[in-house]
Amino acid sequence: MEHPNKAFGYAARRETDEKDVAFKVLYCEICHSDLHMVKNEWGVSTYPLVPGHDIAGIVTEVGSKVDKFKIGDRVGVGCLVDSCRTCQNCEESLENYCPRSTLTYGAKHAAEPLLCAGITVYSPLRYFGLHKPGLQYFTLDGIIDTVSANHRIVPLIGVPKSHGKLVMVGAPNKPLELPVFPLLQGRKLVAGCAIGGLKET
């Protein structure tokens, strides 16, 4: 169903460029990180702000240099829209860590991300080797902590077996306490990971 009012001002988008794909949004989901952005809890929000993650829709227009999509295709847009493509991170398919990347939060002319939860968990599973067959999920080789609210991580550090990993992908708005002794007892690793590069998605 079409909205009866045409978009204007901030909601209006520029003309479709030769490398752009325009699409009608059919589905959108809200993630906890959207709540952080709406409340400016990370201190980087720019208003007005349109929250929303995991969007999908149908292509309505394609630029003259687009050859992977056609009008009528079902599509989604990733959290990472663009990068410099020349820095070391980009050359190693880690565009999500490019210092000049364009993400969808607060980015002008960008749509919201696709399957943020999926790539946010998939990327650290692969990078930290937690996706391999034979890993013991009951003795816990690792934990992916997706909690974006403030919480204690000390109890989580004690759960993985020796050499286990606690990977933070949630982004609380306040620092978490991280004592060293639980890490030393079992040679444990606490790390972080943000979405994934274009190759992973």
> What CATH number is attached to the domain comprising 156?
3.40.50.720
Q: Is residue 13 located within the same domain as residue 89?
A: yes
pLDDT (tens digit per residue) in 96-137: 889 988 776 655 544 444 356 667 777 888 888 887 776 655
Same domain for 99 and 31: yes
pLDDT number for residue 112: 43
Residue 117 dihedral angles phi and psi, to the nearest 5°: -60, -35
- Asked if residue 85 lies in contact with residue 38, where contact means CB atoms within 8 angstroms, the answer is no
Phi, psi at 62, each rounded to 5°:
-130, 145
Query: pLDDT per residue over 45-77, tens digit each?
Result: 877 676 766 677 899 999 999 999 999 999 877
Residue 67 lies in a domain: yes
Report the predicted TM-score, pTM, of the whole model to 2 decimal places.
0.55
| Full residue range of the structural domain in which residue 79 is found | 9-114
**pLDDT the model gives residue 4:** 54
Q: Does residue 138 sit in helix, strand or coil?
A: coil
* Per-residue model confidence as pLDDT tens digits over 147-168: 888 899 999 998 888 999 999 9
Structural domain includes residue 168: yes
Sequence-ordered list of residues with C-beta below 8 angstroms from that of 41, at least 6 positions apart, any chain: 35, 173
Q: Last residue of a domain, which of 86, 114, 142? A: 114
110 with 141, same domain: the answer is no
Does a structural domain hold residue 199? no
For residue 200, being part of any structural domain is answered with no
Q: Are residues 126 and 94 in the same domain?
A: no
Core vs surface per residue 3-36: b (16+ CB within 10 A) or e: eeeeeeeeeeeeeeeeebbbbeeeebbebbbbeb
Residues 105 and 35 in one domain: yes
* Residue 121 and residue 106 share a domain: no
**In 93-162, which ranges are E strands?**
102-103, 142-145
**Cα(112)–Cα(116) distance, rounded to whole angstroms?**
10
> Of 114, 146, 162, which residue is a domain's last?
114
| Tokens standing for residue 5 | 């009012």
What's the domain count of the chain?
A: 2
The domain boundary, picked from 96, 114, 132, lies at 114
* Pair (124, 188) in one structural domain: yes
Residue 25: the pLDDT is 80
Helices (H), 78-135: 88-91, 116-127
| CA 76/CA 78 separation, integer angstroms | 7
Same domain flag for 64 and 52:
yes
The yes-or-no verdict on residue 201 having pLDDT over 80 is no
* 93 and 127 in a common domain: no
Here the CATH number for the domain that contains residue 26 is 3.90.180.10
